[in-house]
Amino acid sequence: MTQKPLKASARAHSNIALIKYWGKREIALNLPAVGSLSVALADLYTDTQVEFSESLDEDDVILDGHENAKSSRRISQFIDLVRAQARTDLRAKVRSRNNFPTGAGLASSASGFAALALAATKAAGVDLSPRELSILARQGSGSAARSLFGGFVEMHRGEKADGSDAYAEPVLDADEWPLSLVIAITETEPKKVDSTEGMQSSAASSAFYQSWVDSSPDDLAAMRAAIAQRDFQAVGELTEYSCLKMHGLMLSAKPGLLYWNPATVALIHRVRELRKEGLSVYFTIDAGPQVKALCLPQDKQAVSNALAEVTGVQSVRSSELGPAAHLIADDE
């Protein structure tokens, strides 16, 4: 590191996969077994400040105003990767805040590790390209590799053992095809089985796992084509298909992994009814009980109102598609 102490702050937006990532081809480097394709969300984001300092004996990490030993360890291990590149032993002060519930299927690890990758490298004076940042963020969380970019983003599975071809890249900017997301929150507790554990159990015990991996390239190709043609119905149908296929895989693990609650199921039915009533809306669900509804901007208000009425829905948020991760002003 050239100057010290060095400080930087970054904002990264959460993302929601339309074609899902579930399964790892290698654990240590966190290499995905399948590619994925997501959209960035303008209104859900993480702000993270990192400051390296000679006065610290250990990393000092506060997330959403709290200390958490498990998260701190994961973050310190991630900063070790940045320290190795910067050739420094300096410890860091990390302050990070999500503007949405953490760990409940709203992709907080995606925006969290993307913001951390950008802020920590900048603070350490390590200059990485967007692709290199994506590769770094992937080692914190697979979906974080996508949160470096805005709009529609594809994550490549890659083939190489060193992970140098397992990175995300933008497919289409947010303003090239404005779409909206309505998020129905049915629970705010952190999930009980984290994605890494769920993925390992699915790979080890589901009879469907190999088919999931083998059929992924076709899903990605179909989604890429649908986006290129701005074919909303095709994008929506593929989104529901990939979501239900992933949850089918989770359900077929031993023991079966069920992230849904009764409100999640009610929301699935409601979204399908809304389509019959003429709205352009499709659902997707991640490793949690929230339902994310992809819709055309003109239907956003009607979809929000309808989903808010479903029994068990605690709150509804909506968002347009968002921008790439970027540096922001430091707090202090």
Q: Can you give the binding site for ligand PMV, defined by CB under 6 A? A: 17, 20-22, 36, 109-110, 141-143, 195-196, 286-287
Which of 195/264 has CB closer to ligand PMV? 195
Task: For residue 95, report the phi and psi dihedrals to the nearest 5 degrees.
Answer: -125, 120
Q: Which is nearer to ligand PMV, 52 or 209 (CB)?
A: 209
Task: Compute the least distance from the CB of residue 196 to ligand PMV, in Å.
Answer: 6
User: Shortest approach of ligand PMV to residue 143 CB, angstroms?
Assistant: 3
At CA 170, angle to CA 34 and CA 240, rounded to 5? Answer: 50
In angstroms, what is the minimal distance from the CB of 257 to ligand PMV?
Answer: 11
CB of 259 to ligand PMV, least distance (A): 9
Measured CA to CA in angstroms, residue 322 lies from 11, 43, 44, 198, 326 at distances of: 11, 7, 9, 28, 12
What phi and psi values does residue 43 have, to the nearest 5 degrees? -95, 0
Between residues 4 and 156, which has the closer beta carbon with respect to ligand PMV?
Answer: 156
Residue 79 has which token pair? 């900063």
Residue 312 is classified by DSSP as T
The Cα-based distances of 86 to 52, 78, 115 in angstroms read 11, 13, 18
How is residue 164 written in tokens? 């140098």
CB closer to ligand PMV out of 180 and 290: 290
Contact (Cβ atoms closer than 8 angstroms) between residue 4 and residue 114: no
Nearer to ligand PMV among residue 53 and residue 188 (C-beta): 188
Q: How far is the CB of 5 from ligand PMV (least distance, A)?
A: 31
